[in-house]
Amino acid sequence: MRYVSTRGGTAEADFEEILLGGLAPDGGLWLPKTWPWFAAQDFRAMQGMTYAEIVARVVQPFVDGWIKPDELLAMTRQAYAQFDHPAVIPMVQTADNDWLLELFHGPTFAFKDLALQLLARLMDRALERRGERVTVLGATSGDTGSAAIAGCAGRRNMDIFILFPRGRVSDIQRRQMTTVVAGNVHCIAIEGTFDDCQSLVKAMFNDTAFATSRRLTAVNSINWTRIVAQAAYCVAAAVRLGAPDRKVAFSIPSANFGACLAAWCAVKMGLGVDRLVVATNANDILHRFIQTGHYTPREVVATLSPSMDIQISSNFERLLFELYDRDGNSIHRLMGRLPRLGSFDVTARALMRARSIIASHRLDDDGIIAEMRRMWRDYGVMVDPHTACGTAAARGVGIDADVPVIMHAQAHPAKFPEAVAAALGEPLKSPAKLSSIQGLTENMTTLPNDVDIVQGYVRDNTEADG
């Protein structure tokens, strides 16, 4: 499998290059040169597979020639063996045709574990093969950081630096990162927003000399491997509900657009999907885009769903590339307008293509609390504030009643005790693994939103390559 940049200004790459790299050299994001196609009989065969087997089957075409199928299967089995549910991603029926897809049974109780436990193992294999060491650099709005640290902590071939917005992640999310004791883990609290953290990371990747000398690599969803691993759980959920012999819909809490893009990718691989619902909170750039065709970032608003407090959605560029028939020059021009003009408009044709499968919905904090209460009252299910955006959206966009709706439950509600207490009037009992971190010592460094200072910190805590 070969990979191309969304901006069309760099040579093709192989899987190992994009696995260990971050952005493409031209500033774009990597996508497969061609989409593998799964026929109906391929999806039917998955109905009898375990979750680890489905992941290996979905991922294999993207790594073909780099790792043997039996070795990949052993790796997926190892990655998901530590999840606390035998199904890995169990489904809970709520209304007649509504299904909660529980994606939070991994080590950090969030959906990011499903991709990052596999990504860390794939990276480790590549580094052992090369005899190299890398610096993993990422920004988090809450869950990516802890999941990345859980996957990378203690690995001898990598250092990991995670930037998060100071005061803008939940107490538990922060402690899941800062209480990990490992010499290769560095947590950096940035005085700013998640978008600031993400901009710092991109600036360091775009500094070619620095990125090369420190061998920077990404674990955010700019890393393509994250996306394909998430596409696998969309496929796994759909085949449980009868795919390919009936279409399903997905309702997905969205901010950086990675999870929704993963479902889109499953469609490109042949999965029959009736609708993809992009569910946003008050930081609604994706909702506004689907409604108007205008992409205009605004100031980030702090909400009860902090992992969605994002106004610049990195993975949206990958969708644009597909909407523009993979015309990298057009994407280069569009993305160039953001820093210069602060917004861009897409063509009527591109917007029509997006709307042919994607719907959108917005929920503010009052709506989130009301939805959490409704789910508890009507079904005895407590959802976290991000998932509440998705369950409300599933009702709000008018999906046909005969279409099964798979609603992504992206985090355990105990990670957001303030929101749960506001909805229920009392706290939710936390799993022992979460409550046990409350008394542990935290280790983090607070830095200003200044790329020179942050880059200096990374430089001082790593060794130059060669």
Taking residue 398's Cβ as centre, other Cβ atoms within 10 Å add up to 8
Using an 8 Å Cβ cutoff, are 239 and 46 in contact?
Answer: yes
| pLDDT exceeds 70 at position 36 | yes
Mean pLDDT of 317-341: 96
Q: Give the pLDDT of residue 33.
A: 98
Is there a domain that residue 134 lies in?
no
Structure confidence at residue 178 as a pLDDT band (50, 70, 90) = very high
Q: Give the pLDDT of residue 393.
A: 98
Q: Give the pLDDT of residue 242.
A: 96
Closest CA to 263 of 252, 72, 347: 252
Structure confidence at residue 466 as a pLDDT band (50, 70, 90) = very low
Q: In the chain, how many domains are there?
A: 1
Question: 217-257, pLDDT tens digit by residue?
Answer: 988 888 999 999 999 999 999 999 999 999 999 999 998 89
Is there a domain that residue 279 lies in?
yes
Closest CA to 266 of 291, 293, 239: 239
What is the Cα–Cα distance from 253 to 231, expressed in whole angstroms? 15
Using an 8 Å Cβ cutoff, are 189 and 161 in contact?
Answer: no
Q: What's the first-to-final CA gap in the chain, in angstroms? A: 29
Question: 46-72, pLDDT tens digit by residue?
Answer: 999 999 999 999 999 999 999 999 999
What is the Cα–Cα distance from 320 to 47, expressed in whole angstroms? 32
Is there a domain that residue 170 lies in?
no
Is there a domain that residue 298 lies in?
yes
Is there a domain that residue 194 lies in?
no
Q: Look up the pTM and report it.
A: 0.93
Structure-token match 């075409």, residue found: 61
Using an 8 Å Cβ cutoff, are 408 and 390 in contact?
Answer: yes
What is the Cα–Cα distance from 325 to 186, expressed in whole angstroms? 40
Domain carrying residue 337: 91-106+224-424
Using an 8 Å Cβ cutoff, are 310 and 283 in contact?
Answer: yes
What is the Cα–Cα distance from 41 to 369, expressed in whole angstroms? 43
| pLDDT exceeds 70 at position 110 | yes
**What length does the chain have?**
466
Question: 414-426, pLDDT tens digit by residue?
Answer: 999 999 999 998 8
341 CB-near residues (< 8 Å, 6+ apart): none
Question: What's the CATH number where 237 sits?
Answer: 3.40.50.1100
Q: Give the pLDDT of residue 21.
A: 85
What is the Cα–Cα distance from 205 to 203, expressed in whole angstroms? 5
What percentage of residues in the chain have a pLDDT greater than 70? 99
Is there a domain that residue 277 lies in?
yes
Distance of alpha carbon 436 from the chain centroid? 26
Is there a domain that residue 388 lies in?
yes
Single-letter amino acid code for the residue at 382: M
Q: Render the burial of 97-136: b for 16+ CB within 10 Å, e for the rest.
A: bbbbbbbbbbbbbbbbbbbbbbbbbbbbbbbeeeeebbbb
Question: 266-310, pLDDT tens digit by residue?
Answer: 999 999 999 999 999 999 999 999 999 999 999 999 999 988 998
Q: Which positions are catalytic?
A: 112
130 CB-near residues (< 8 Å, 6+ apart): none
Q: What are 30's two structure tokens?
A: 């990597």
| pLDDT exceeds 90 at position 177 | yes
Query: Which range among 66-80, 128-142, 444-458 shows the weakest confidence by mean pLDDT?
Result: 128-142
- Three-state SS across the chain? CEEEECCCCCCCEEHHHHHHCCCCCCCCCEEECCCCCCCHHHHHHHCCCCHHHHHHHHHHHHCCCCCCHHHHHHHHHHHHCCCCCCCCCCEEECCCCEEEEECCCCCCCECHHHHHHHHHHHHHHHHHHHCCCEEEEEECCCHHHHHHHHHHCCCCCEEEEEEEECCCCCHHHHHHHHCCCCCCEEEEEEECCHHHHHHHHHHHHHCHHHHHHCCEEECCCCCHHHHHHHHHHHHHHHHHCCCCCCCEEEEEECCCCHHHHHHHHHHHCCCCEEEEEEEECCCCHHHHHHHHCEECCCCCCCCCCHHHCCCCCCCHHHHHHHHCCCCHHHHHHHHHHHHHHCCEECCHHHHHHHHCCEEEEECCHHHHHHHHHHHHHHHCCCCCHHHHHHHHHHHHCCCCCCCCEEEEECECHHHCHHHHHHHHCCCCCCCHHHHCCCCCCCCCEEEECCHHHHHHHHHHCCCCCC
Query: Which range among 169-178, 421-430, 444-453 shows the weakest confidence by mean pLDDT?
Result: 421-430
| pLDDT exceeds 50 at position 440 | yes
Structure-token match 């169990």, residue found: 90
362 CB-near residues (< 8 Å, 6+ apart): 280, 281, 282, 284, 287
Q: What are 237's two structure tokens?
A: 């959920």
Using an 8 Å Cβ cutoff, are 394 and 251 in contact?
Answer: yes
Q: Give phi and psi for 114, each to the nearest 5.
A: -65, -35
| pLDDT exceeds 80 at position 18 | yes
Is there a domain that residue 79 lies in?
no
| pLDDT exceeds 90 at position 199 | yes
Question: 145-175, pLDDT tens digit by residue?
Answer: 999 999 999 998 999 999 999 999 989 999 9
Q: Give the pLDDT of residue 465.
A: 64
